[in-house]
Amino acid sequence: MRLDESVTEPISIDIWSDIACPWCYIGKRNLEKGLDAVAGDDDAPQVNITFHSFELSPDTPVDFHGDEVDFLAGHKGMPRAQVEQMLSHVTGVAAEAGLEYRFDLLQHTNTVKAHELLHHAKANDLQHEMEERLMSAYFTEGKHVGRIDDLVDLAVEVGLDADETRQALESSVHLSAVRQDQAQARAYGIQGVPFFVIDGQYGISGAQPPAAFENVLRDLWSKRGESERESAAV
């Protein structure tokens, strides 16, 4: 997540995700592992990461009465046994990524205010910290991430001002930015998340393993270096 200090422009990584998407947190962690792996290269790829809003279940109430099994079984029409098996599988995959999912504590909620908060954090150069805090709060700590009071508390933890954050959330000043992200997702044809757009031209769908990100980043960075050397020789 370092900004390039040389002439070479950083590789842009735009990530569409929902903080209530279990695969998005796994994908985020796998990307970070991929970045760590290439950081030791002699000519390490430099990147600039931006998170974008995607709501998986925009019709979800802020206060959903029931647990994650209830939500998926009732709201999505899935058999409870199938839901429990699916959550067990996701929990195992998350553990491999170093994440301890607690679906028994998770409080399902509407995420639009969380997305507004991420845009507020972005305006204050704290988007990455806020993304991590929201996902951790939701999946591993069982915290509520749909109510303004709870979101303000989490925002303060990453360094945002409480009063400014509350004003931003109560006024919905960043809602238009959330909608713009969603419109761009539709324009790209994104139907599921996480979805990674690399340099505006390569799309990676799903929680791919760290090696997938390593390969793409090294390939792009190598080609960029070759292009610049050719331009310099002209």
β-sheet with 47-53: strand ranges across: 47-53, 11-17, 195-198, 202-205
Residues contacting 121, CB < 8 A, separation 6+: 127, 129, 130, 131, 155, 158, 160
| Percentage above 70 pLDDT, the chain | 93
Task: Break the chain into its structural domains and give their ranges.
Answer: 11-233
What does the pLDDT look like over 53-81, one tens digit per residue? 999 999 999 999 999 999 999 877 889 99
Q: Rounded CA gap, 42 and 35, in Å?
A: 14
Does residue 232 surpass a pLDDT of 80?
Answer: no
* Number of C-beta neighbours around residue 18 at 10 A: 22
Q: What was the pLDDT predicted at 229?
A: 56
pLDDT category at 3 given cuts 50, 70, 90 is very low
Give the pTM: 0.92
Question: What's the residue count for the chain?
Answer: 234
11-233: which CATH architecture? 3-Layer(aba) Sandwich (3.40)
15 DSSP β-pair partners: 51, 196
Q: Rounded CA gap, 166 and 163, in Å?
A: 5
Looking up tokens 């992200």 gives 181
Residue 195's H or E segment, with its range, is strand 195-198
Q: Rounded CA gap, 169 and 147, in Å?
A: 10
pLDDT category at 230 given cuts 50, 70, 90 is low
What does the pLDDT look like over 177-207, one tens digit per residue? 999 999 999 999 999 999 999 999 889 999 9
